Chain A
Amino acid sequence: MKKEFNTIASLVEKKSKVLDVGCGDGELMKYINENITNDIRGLEISKSNVQKCVAKGLTVIEGDAEKDLKQFPNSSFDYVILSQTLQAFLDPENVISELLRVGKKAIVTIPNFGYWKVRIHLLLRGTMPITKDLPNEWYNTPNLHMCTIKDFVNYCNKKNIKINSKNLSYKNLFSQLGIFVIEK
């Protein structure tokens, strides 16, 4: 399992109610389901991933986070998880506000465009950075809205969204991935 998933799982309280938005093949859901809370379900757009989740015995709803979050009532989950998909949405601002409406808390992870290797790649090579977390070329990347950890924290501050922003400059330089718990 990805190291990222361990960190996310450690942020979820036992026996809480969880929605994993863009749950992929269900690896994270499965881990949380077996170790933390069995009140978890996923929303996933890819048909083959939906099949993989069903095969794992997970509750999954085929759907598009940009359209289908609106069917859930306000604060209907203790946690809503969004793992590394925020940058791929057409309208990430709307998705964030929906996450915070549906969940009492949201756990959001983003690939950090401020990571030092990314900065050096762009500075020295002058081409769009390609790293382990950003493996695609500019012409085939699904990522439409890349940001840095600092960008995301600034955005939350601007919108009065509660976020932990300790050691911001350090993290922005040395973390490949930002993992945040945010709430209204």
Chain B
Amino acid sequence: MNDIKKVKKLIIDKPLKLDCGQTISNFPLAYETYGKLNDKKDNAILAFHALTGDQFASGVNPITNKEGWWNYLIGPGKAIDTQKYFVICANVIGGCMGSYGPSNINPKTNKNFGTEFPVITINDMVNAQYHLLEFFKIKKLFSVLGGSMGGMQVLQFVSNFPNKSETAIPIACTHSHSAQNIALNELGRQSIMADHNWANGFYEENSKSPDKGLAVARMAAHITYLSKKGLQEKFGRKLQERDDLKFGFDADFQIESYLRHQGSVFVDRFDANSYLYITRAMDYFDLSKQFDGNLSKAFEKTNTKFFIISFTSDWLYPTSENREIVIALNSIGKDVGFAEITSDKGHDSFLLNVPDFLNTIKNFLNTSYNKLNEKRI
């Protein structure tokens, strides 16, 4: 692994009051940018990452040497063309790619924070990232977008800063984490905590990390990102490098081998405590509750133009939950578009090469950008 200390960081010196009551200050926010901010500073897009993402949305991630997680969408000549737009992406606080998180050193103990790190929320993540606008001297972003937990951040961002983005694209997300979402996250957390190496979150001092637990958490979560049809078509009952069943508990089936692989590569790039903290932030997300159960109130003050996208085979954040956001916006006469994209690839569709999805974003952004410039002329 390359040195994580070398990633770009903004040190936020202003105190940030967290939802849990604690205040943090002088903390790092790791970020990356793609493209160039123009002279008018009107071409900036803030992309929010999902649970296990990071700031390396495009190009090659220098830490993992793998492609950025949104490489299909963002890059030169792509749907979000970085020859035209300036894309900023930050690692959320609580994360493990250079931003302030549980693997940072606690100045009080000189050891890793572990589970002494404060519980953070989607609201806290967004408030921390808002400092990037000041840092780049951007008065108003052209767009904020993100899928899954990234979409939740989009909703929270527009609610907190109603006049700070011209457009917003929440993708495959929800305004309120459902019981099923919480249950699946709890499964992952319990798997990590059941690993003896977890040691109540202070595993770094023992130099043994709860890899088994984290891998199982990832395996379980990975299933929820795919659709039944997608799994069946890709794997079916195909056997893994063998002609017949072995009557044992090795990975007989390709799907087993695939999941084990997903689990084992994940532990090399992700911190178990960050997994606990970030899933907790998702579970606590309930934007309508912040507005007395009336989601429309969250958007009353905004003139941001929305486009909401869901996927037919996404059962984790289904169309019905995305549509609730559309309804809340329509019911107060806000400018909102909505499309449900046909895809067999499940929740993961937003990360994959799904042409209708990529075109929808491209067309929405480009026509919105042109309209803004027409207005100015």
A residues contacting B by CB (< 8 A) are 41, 47, 50-51, 54-57, 59-63, 71-73, 76
Q: A25: shortest Cβ distance to chain B, in Å?
A: 14
- Interface centre among A54, A71, A72, by most chain B C-beta atoms within 10 angstroms, is A54
Q: Say how far A48's CB is from chain B's closest CB, in angstroms.
A: 9
Whether B364 contacts A54 by the Cβ 8 Å rule is yes
Q: A51-B360, A54-B360, A55-B359 are in contact. Are A61 and B336 (CB under 8 A)?
A: yes
Complex contact B363–A55 (CB within 8 A): yes
A147 to B326, CA, bound (A): 34
B107 on interface, CB distance cutoff 8 Å: no
From A48, which residue of chain B is reached at the shortest CB distance? Answer: B356
B336 & A59 in contact (Cβ 8 Å cutoff): yes
| In the complex, per-residue mask of B235-271: 1 if CB is within 8 Å of any chain A CB, else 0 | 0000000000000000000000000000000000000
C-alpha spacing A55/B368, complex, angstroms = 11
Query: How far, in Å, is B110 (CB) from chain A's closest CB?
Result: 54
Question: Chain A residues near B359 (CB, 8 Å)?
Answer: 51, 54-55
- Chain B residue nearest to A55 (CB atoms) is B363
Residues of A within 8 A of B368 (CB): 57
Given A55-B363, A57-B370, A50 and B339 contact (CB-CB distance below 8 Å): yes
Q: A60-B338, A61-B337 are in contact. List 19 more A-B contacts (CB 8 A).
A: A41-B335, A47-B339, A47-B341, A51-B359, A56-B367, A57-B366, A57-B371, A59-B305, A59-B335, A61-B326, A61-B336, A62-B339, A63-B326, A71-B327, A71-B330, A71-B331, A72-B330, A72-B331, A73-B332
Chain A residues with CB under 8 Å of B340's CB are 47, 62
Note all chain A residues with C-beta closer than 8 A to B363: 54-55, 57
Residue of B nearest to A59 (CB): B337
Chain B residues contacting A51 (CB-CB under 8 Å) are 339, 356, 359-360
A-B Cβ contacts below 8 A, count: 55
The DSSP consensus for interface residues of chain A is: mixed
Complex Cα–Cα for A51 and B307 (A): 13
- With A51-B339, A54-B337: A61-B360 Cβ-Cβ less than 8 Å: no
Contact across chains for B333 and A76 when beta carbons are under 8 A apart: yes
Asked whether B360 lies within 8 Å of A62 as measured between CB atoms, the reply is no
Residue ID in chain A nearest B366 by CB atoms: A57
| A61 to B366 CA separation, bound complex (whole angstroms) | 18
Q: In the complex, which residues of chain A have a beta carbon less than 8 angstroms from the beta carbon of B331? A: 71-73
Complex: how many Å from CA A165 to CA B367?
A: 42
Q: Which residues of B contact A60 (CB under 8 A)?
A: 337-339
The answer to whether residues A61 and B330 also contact, given A47-B340, A51-B339, A54-B363 and a CB cut-off of 8 A, is: yes
What residues of chain A lie closer than 8 Å to B342, measured between beta carbons? 47
**Size of interface on B: residues with Cβ below 8 Å to A:** 26
Could you list some 17 contacts between A and B, CB below 8 A?
A47-B340, A51-B359, A51-B360, A54-B337, A54-B360, A54-B363, A57-B363, A59-B305, A59-B335, A59-B336, A59-B337, A61-B337, A62-B338, A62-B339, A63-B323, A71-B331, A73-B331
Inter-subunit contact B335/A73 (CB<8 Å): no
Bound complex: CA of A59 vs CA of B359, how far in Å? 15
Q: How far apart are A69's CB and chain B's nearest CB, in angstroms?
A: 10
Chain A contacts of B339 at CB under 8 A? 47, 50-51, 54, 60, 62
Residue of A with least CB distance to B355? A51
Cβ contacts under 8 Å, B356 to chain A? 47, 51
B367: chain A residues at CB < 8 Å are 56-57
- Residues of B within 8 Å of A54, CB to CB, are 337, 339, 359-360, 363-364
Residues of A near B336 (CB, < 8 A) are: 59, 61
Q: Cβ of B338 and Cβ of A61 under 8 Å apart?
A: yes
Cβ–Cβ < 8 Å partners of A73 in chain B: 331-333
Against A, the Cβ 8 Å flags (1 = close, 0 = not) of B331-358 are 1110111111110000000000000100
In the assembled complex, the Cα of A63 lies from the Cα of B342 at a distance in Å of 14
3 closest A-B pairs by CB: A57-B367, A71-B327, A61-B338
- Bound complex: CA A51 to CA B305 (Å): 18
Residue numbers in B under 8 Å from A63 (CB-CB): 323, 326, 338
The residue on A at minimum CB distance from B333 is A76
A57: which B residues are within 8 A, CB to CB?
363, 366-368, 370-371
Shortest Cβ gap from A173 to chain B (Å): 41
Closest to A56 in B: B367
Please indicate the chain A residues that have their CB under 8 angstroms from the CB of B323 in the complex.
Answer: 63
Instruction: Report how far A56 CA is from B370 CA in the complex, Å.
Output: 12
A72 CB contacts on chain B under 8 angstroms: 330-331
Name the A residues within 8 Å of B360 (CB-CB).
51, 54
Interface centre among A50, A59, A63 (most CB of B within 10 A): A59
> CA A57 – CA B374 in complex, angstroms?
13
Contact string, B124-151, partner A, CB cutoff 8 A, digits 1/0? 0000000000000000000000000000
Asked whether, in the complex, the Cβ of B371 is within 8 Å of the Cβ of A71, the reply is no
List, in ascending order, chain B residues with CB within 8 A of A61's CB: 326, 330, 336-338
Chain A neighbourhood of B305, CB < 8 A: 59
Chain B residues positioned under 8 Å from A71 (CB to CB): 326-327, 330-331
